[in-house]
Structure 1
Amino acid sequence: MLAELKIENVAVIEKAEVQFTPGLNVLTGETGAGKSIMIDSINAILGNRTSRDLVRSGAPKARIWATFESIPAHVREQVEKCGYGAQDDLLLYREISADGKGSCRINGMPATAGVVRDISAGLLTIHGQHDSTSLTNPATHLALLDQYAQDGTEYAAYHALYRALVTAKRALDALTSSEEEKQRRIAELSEEIDTIDAAALTAGEEERLMERRKVIMHAQGILDGLTAAHQALSGDDSGEMMGAADLLGSVVNELAESARLDESLAPLSERLSDLYYGARELATDLADRLDGYDFDPGELDQIEERLDQIYRMKQRYGASVEELLTRRDKAAEELEGYQSSGKRIAELTQRKQELYRQTKAAAETLTQARLKAFTSMNRQMREALEFLNMPGVRMVLRHQRGPLASAGQDNIEFLISTNPGEEPKPLAKIASGGELSRIMLAFKSALADKDAISTVIYDEIDTGVSGLAAGRIGQKLKQTASGHQVLCITHTPQIAAFADNQLLIEKKVRDNRTFTEIHPLDLDGRVQVLARMISGDKVTDLSLANARELIEKSQG
């Protein structure tokens, strides 16, 4: 449950610290006092998108802390999985800077807003002032029914088959496209394969050709360098100039003779001998390279022509040689698929038919789960609405089986008759704002036992409701709060009277600045606040007595 909320520099709230308790927590205050800021702060701490406009004017940043105690097991497991420790309590922190930047923390450790949203989704849900109007949209009815039915297993089984069916259908449609388009594609693929095959490309060929072209273009310089190196080692052909190898050879024997007389010269003799044989070997290698350097005058033209052909291929297809070869293989694979499409079409047709049969059966299983759930939900709804001063309400399910879709085969809409003798009609046509509020509360009441979320916030669920109906809403919220922590923002004394913990949100002006403060109320404070809610600014002994009586009856 949400145990504590701390707020600093959020809109008109400079600093506030709110303690919440199990059961029904009611927040009351004048319109504009800052109740909506509480909701904005809670939305922010849950990782939802927010605005820098939330930062109090003149403050560098807004800060919000929320402490959750005894978090549900599935939330604790997710917190641990995300690396934030395995604890029964959870501390969330959100900072929003005036420049639009911000940060989040979970148990003191940095976190992204997305991770906070994922974790907090299992902690708390907010029912806003205008959420009741969503009931007038039939598109929301199926989700409500599924939430009550707890049919996740049936839905997952159906959806897996449905995706497989869609995949098979798409593959079949691709193969059975128009014959004209098929032949056009076959011709296109054949031409592409023939063109690439005719070029006889090989991986790395372009790089090898460019290297060979560089060698040929600089052939004379290469030969001059080889010749000079060979002559330096071997001397010239006339014998007039001795080469380095011959010079080394002339002194090898002399140093060897000296080494026989002075053994300390042996290492030097060996090194000189190695130099001599190395020079001879290098001279031989250079001679071989000179003999082997044979450049065909037409080779450069052939290389240039081949490189130009490769360039044109690359320009045409917009790819490297390696990518062209890969493209050719893919084109051949696709062409083979077209050429063997008859067999493949037969296989896919059979698979599609079998998948359709399985998917249709899974859809019917899902349908039956929904219809069974509606019977139970309708009974609970009728009881809840009768308790909420809407006796004689009759709700029916308009259900049609349609084509298979991602959510199944069911087209669902809740119809309602609020008065005896009237035919059930769509909610948008007959339900008033107050009736919608009570219908939504009835839904939430029916879903309460199905919902693993421990804290529910109702933001002015009493819109359009007063008198006896408002008192019944208070009773229903009190009942719901026996299994869930409930936070309720209300302007109605009949609801506030049922609070286990009542908080007053009030706005004050000091030094031309607006401040919102939040105070827990004791019994006398509650009586005073409820009396103002009953009679306005002029609190009388009668309104005080009425307020006290409301509280006593609600707690009885």
Structure 2
Amino acid sequence: MLTHLKIKNFALIEELEASFSSGMTCITGETGAGKSILLGGLSLVLGKRADLSSLFNPTQKCVVEASFNICSYALRPLFEDLDLDYEEETVVRREILPQGKSRAFVNDTPVTLAALEELSRYLIDIHSQNDTATLLESDYQFQVLDALAKNQKPLSDYQHTLSEYKAVKKSYQQLKLDSEKAKASASLDDFLYQELLKLNLKEGLQEDLESRHNALIHVDFLQSNLAESIQLMDSESLGLVDQLLRLRSLASGLAQKSGQFSTLYERFSALFVEA
């Protein structure tokens, strides 16, 4: 139920406050008295589109604030869904700045216009003389029947149970997804394990592969040193000690790049010592 309405700097209203008690309240007046402006301000606070032309003073912001007593509306689940603080005396405020920006608050918490419009559907009904189409809407008919039957508590219990069910269902779906991911990961791990078994890995294989890899990446260097070594050994020139020294140097470079030339280096070293 609307209990209080405050309008500032809207249309022809510089500032106005009105309080409403339980029962029926009638506002009367001749044409142009401002009855429609009150409804316009109320519509604004309920999420309707703002217009700068409706500001009484275009240099100041427009503020419309409405208070609602919602203790019997069973709206706590809706507030939780919209991530809003629930209070039995809920205050909705709308501000229109001179720059054209619009802000909305529910119990001092900023909200989007979409959330405000969703909430406003349950706070108040505004009817015109031609506004009879609502009577044909099934949602509205159920609301009337529930109100007449005083179904607030069963509805609240149902909404609470439904909320718990959705939370459990979401948790179950997450667990199911995690289980599927774990199965896929286990399947991949098993496949990789079987592939490793097929390779028949042995101790020392990694060192051997690294040695071969090192030889391959220095293949140009190895070819050059081997070619020069062969040329020296085939040469008929004198100076055997110098040639052995050069051969030992070349073999040392070969052995550093690939372990398979270590024996060759040792032999050249022994020959050099004997010479």
Structure-2-length-normalised TM-score: 0.53
Within 5 Å, which residues of 2 pair with 1:309-458?
A: none
Say if 1:279 and 1:10 are closer, same or farther in 2 by CA, change over 3 A. same
Say if 1:145 and 1:247 are closer, same or farther in 2 by CA, change over 3 A. closer
- Which residue in 1 is equivalent to 2:19? 19
For 1:110 and 1:55, locate their aligned partners in 2 and report how far apart those are by CA, in whole Å.
22
Q: Is 1:52 equivalent to 2:52 in the alignment?
A: yes
For 2:94 and 2:28, locate their aligned partners in 1 and report how far apart those are by CA, in whole Å.
25
Say if 1:18 and 1:278 are closer, same or farther in 2 by CA, change over 3 A. farther
Asked whether the 8 Å contact 1:233–1:280 carries over to 2, the reply is no
Asked whether the 8 Å contact 1:233–1:244 carries over to 2, the reply is no
For 1:41 and 1:282, locate their aligned partners in 2 and report how far apart those are by CA, in whole Å.
93
Corresponding letter in the other structure for 1:246 = A
* Equivalent position to 1:143, from 136, 145, 150: 136
Asked whether the 8 Å contact 1:71–1:90 carries over to 2, the reply is no
Say if 1:10 and 1:235 are closer, same or farther in 2 by CA, change over 3 A. farther
For 2:103 and 2:21, locate their aligned partners in 1 and report how far apart those are by CA, in whole Å.
28
Say if 1:71 and 1:245 are closer, same or farther in 2 by CA, change over 3 A. farther
User: Gapped runs of 5+ residues in structure 1?
Assistant: 153-224, 249-275, 285-556
- Which residue in 2 is equivalent to 1:80? 80
- Which residue in 2 is equivalent to 1:247? 252
Say if 1:227 and 1:31 are closer, same or farther in 2 by CA, change over 3 A. same
Q: Which runs of 4+ in 1 moved over 6 A?
A: 149-152
For 1:243 and 1:12, locate their aligned partners in 2 and report how far apart those are by CA, in whole Å.
106
For 2:117 and 2:134, locate their aligned partners in 1 and report how far apart those are by CA, in whole Å.
25
- Structure 1 residue 92, shift from structure 2 partner: 0.7
Within 5 Å, which residues of 2 pair with 1:220-239?
A: 227-231=219-223, 236-237=228-229, 238-239=231-232
| SS of the residue 2:95 aligns to | strand
- Structure 1 residue 9, shift from structure 2 partner: 1.1
- Structure 1 residue 150, shift from structure 2 partner: 7.1
Q: Is 1:4 equivalent to 2:4 in the alignment?
A: yes
Q: Is 1:125 equivalent to 2:140 in the alignment?
A: no
For 1:151 and 1:24, locate their aligned partners in 2 and report how far apart those are by CA, in whole Å.
18
For 1:42 and 1:243, locate their aligned partners in 2 and report how far apart those are by CA, in whole Å.
100
Say if 1:117 and 1:144 are closer, same or farther in 2 by CA, change over 3 A. closer
- Structure 1 residue 38, shift from structure 2 partner: 0.9
Asked whether the 8 Å contact 2:10–2:41 carries over to 1, the reply is yes
- Structure 1 residue 74, shift from structure 2 partner: 2.6
Q: Is 1:28 equivalent to 2:28 in the alignment?
A: yes
- Number of residue pairs aligned between Structure 1 and Structure 2: 178
| SS of the residue 2:126 aligns to | strand
- Structure 1 residue 49, shift from structure 2 partner: 2.3
For 1:242 and 1:125, locate their aligned partners in 2 and report how far apart those are by CA, in whole Å.
103
Corresponding letter in the other structure for 2:44 = A
- Structure 1 residue 151, shift from structure 2 partner: 10
Corresponding letter in the other structure for 2:119 = I
Q: Is 1:42 equivalent to 2:42 in the alignment?
A: yes
- Sequence identity, in percent? 26
- Structure 1 residue 94, shift from structure 2 partner: 0.8
Asked whether the 8 Å contact 1:55–1:97 carries over to 2, the reply is no
Corresponding letter in the other structure for 1:123 = L
Asked whether the 8 Å contact 2:218–2:257 carries over to 1, the reply is no
Within 5 Å, which residues of 2 pair with 1:155-304?
A: 227-231=219-223, 236-237=228-229, 238-239=231-232, 246-247=251-252, 279-281=257-259
Asked whether the 8 Å contact 2:70–2:123 carries over to 1, the reply is no
| SS of the residue 2:94 aligns to | strand
Say if 1:247 and 1:58 are closer, same or farther in 2 by CA, change over 3 A. same
Asked whether the 8 Å contact 2:135–2:141 carries over to 1, the reply is no
- Structure 1 residue 47, shift from structure 2 partner: 1.2
- Structure 1 residue 283, shift from structure 2 partner: 8.3
Corresponding letter in the other structure for 2:82 = C
Say if 1:10 and 1:151 are closer, same or farther in 2 by CA, change over 3 A. closer
- Which residue in 2 is equivalent to 1:103? 103
Say if 1:73 and 1:62 are closer, same or farther in 2 by CA, change over 3 A. same
For 1:103 and 1:150, locate their aligned partners in 2 and report how far apart those are by CA, in whole Å.
30
| SS of the residue 1:64 aligns to | strand
- Structure 1 residue 149, shift from structure 2 partner: 7.5
Corresponding letter in the other structure for 2:52 = R
Give CA-to-partner distance per residue, 1:150-185, whole Å, 9 cap, x none. Answer: 799xxxxxxxxxxxxxxxxxxxxxxxxxxxxxxxxx
- Structure 1 residue 281, shift from structure 2 partner: 4.2
For 1:283 and 1:7, locate their aligned partners in 2 and report how far apart those are by CA, in whole Å.
96
| SS of the residue 1:117 aligns to | helix
Give CA-to-partner distance per residue, 1:364-422, whole Å, 9 cap, x none. Answer: xxxxxxxxxxxxxxxxxxxxxxxxxxxxxxxxxxxxxxxxxxxxxxxxxxxxxxxxxxx
User: Gapped runs of 5+ residues in structure 2?
Assistant: 146-216, 233-242, 263-275
For 2:2 and 2:71, locate their aligned partners in 1 and report how far apart those are by CA, in whole Å.
9
Give CA-to-partner distance per residue, 1:92-117, whole Å, 9 cap, x none. Answer: 11111233321111111111111111
Asked whether the 8 Å contact 2:134–2:140 carries over to 1, the reply is no
* Higher relative contact order (CA closer than 8 Å, sequence separation 6+): 1
- Structure 1 residue 57, shift from structure 2 partner: 3.4
Structure-1-length-normalised TM-score: 0.28
For 1:35 and 1:150, locate their aligned partners in 2 and report how far apart those are by CA, in whole Å.
28
| SS of the residue 2:26 aligns to | strand
Say if 1:278 and 1:70 are closer, same or farther in 2 by CA, change over 3 A. same
For 2:71 and 2:10, locate their aligned partners in 1 and report how far apart those are by CA, in whole Å.
26
Asked whether the 8 Å contact 2:6–2:65 carries over to 1, the reply is yes
Corresponding letter in the other structure for 1:91 = V
- Structure 1 residue 46, shift from structure 2 partner: 0.9
| SS of the residue 1:28 aligns to | coil
